[in-house]
Amino acid sequence: MGSVQGLLRLLLLSLFAASSFSRMHSPWDDKIAMQTEEEAGEIEEGVRWAILIAGSSGYGNYRHQADICHAYQILKRGGLKEENIVVFMYDDIANNEENPHRGKVFNKPYGPDVYPGVPKDYTGENITVSNFYAAILGDADATKGGSGKVVASGPNDHVFIYYADHGGAGVLGMPNDPILYADEFVDTLKKKAAAGTFKKMVIYVEACESGSIFDGLLPTGLNIYVTTASDPDENSWGTYCPTMIPPPPPEFGTCLGDLYSVSWMEDAEMENLKKETLNDQYRIVKSRTSDNDTYMTGSHVMQYGDIEIDAEEVERYLGFDPANENVTRPELPVSKAPATASGMHVMQREAELLHLWHKYHKAVDGSKKESAGMELTRTIAHRMHVDNSIKLIGDHMFGLDTSLLRLKAVRPAGQVLVDDWSCLKAMVRTFEASCGPLTQYGMKHMRAFASICNAGIDLDTMKKATSQACGFSETDTDLRTADSPRFSASAKEFVKTIEF
């Protein structure tokens, strides 16, 4: 009996010593025992993550990077941690020689500087489709260049993706080749969903024809909700542009923002996002982006994916700014009759010309004016070359009578743009081999390439057509010799005929 009692005492002493040792050497005991309310909330509701991406470069595309910088400031005020926000931005406008306020970026006339503190995760040549997809999938090992920051989300987390740039049917622009194709983007989203590394995802896309990225492609059941700036067959619009009311300060000469983008961001800044639902925001943004329901200089904001997610509060994705705590529920738009269009927004694809025209117009006589005139004239010449080449190819494929109708054919809503995405990509490569790069403007013709594929036309036929259409160098045309002495006589007069 004594030996048993001795053994029990020994065991109790051992347990006490082990417990004491554990308390002395485990720095986590107090945290586990005293879990904060914030930590408990994160476990239950998950972490907020975001990817912000501007798909363009150049001062003429100022508005896209301004949009992204503005979005970052909203997320930061909403409580998202910097390590959970991945930013893709070429970063060539803040300190651009054309920027009248060097080192600053503005997204609205006389608004705040939105550039301070914006992370430089992926800039310049590191803004690529592959890095974008790696960031979505949380695969840091797959990134090349940049910070390596990715969305390392878990099954309870909420993810927000916001893209701003040019687009075309089935594609989104990128500042470095290749461009983003819808099938690959949606496949990446499917992989993310299959991995179970998020609870729900919200995607906002600002681009022309952005609805075509998801229409007929994005299935339901992935817990992904999307809104786009436009339907599958229309332009999106720049705003706060020269000639608009209100205009940007006169020294800018370029658009400061995009209509859909500033609509959702300016709404987010004035609402209590704990009380505003995604559907509330969609209705508010849809009304403003439609140009007062006239669509004169506006577009149709669309919804795709698991639309029922729009019943959730915006706060789950954008966070919550305590400054708006006392704001009541948002005032939703009502139909107006008769509606009055502002008529003052600028089509995305024309914003570049607007900038170049103002650059030429404001330049003093001399070499700067000559250079600005050359840049504008070359841009117009390239656009004419692309448009004419596509028309000639269509005439060869379909005949003069039906060419334009066949090239611009739009499939019914809910039907995917093209049956064979490999064919679409091959047709674009073939065109560029003979006719030169499409550029961001040429993406307007992606539907023509899709129509060629859907008509069953093979690659050899396309090669012959592009060779015939572009068998000459566009540098042989008068407009492309803008750097010659003839520019001063002819191109200057041509530029003077352009009005905005």
Given a contact cutoff of 8 angstroms between Cβ atoms, the answer to whether 111 and 162 are in contact is no
Q: Cα–chain-centroid distance for residue 278?
A: 19
Classify residue 101 by its DSSP letter: S
Active site residue 470: no
Neighbours of 5 (CB within 10 A): 9
Given a contact cutoff of 8 angstroms between Cβ atoms, the answer to whether 163 and 205 are in contact is yes
Q: Please name the residues in contact with 432: beta carbons below 8 A apart, sequence gap of 6 or more.
A: 438
Given a contact cutoff of 8 angstroms between Cβ atoms, the answer to whether 271 and 261 are in contact is no
Angle between helices 182-194 and 129-137 (to 10 degrees): 20
In the chain, the largest separation of any two C-alpha atoms, in whole Å, equals 117
Given a contact cutoff of 8 angstroms between Cβ atoms, the answer to whether 296 and 250 are in contact is no
Token pair in block for residue 220: 């339901």
- Whose CA is closest to 69, among 99, 110, 107, 111? 107
| Alpha carbons 405 and 302: distance in angstroms, whole number | 25
The one catalytic residue in 70, 158, 166, 445 is: 166
Neighbours of 259 (CB within 10 A): 29
Token pair in block for residue 62: 């100022």
Token pair in block for residue 339: 């509606």
The one catalytic residue in 208, 255, 423, 470 is: 208
Active site residue 423: no
In 338-433, the DSSP E strands lie at: 346-347
List, by residue number, the catalytic residues: 166, 208
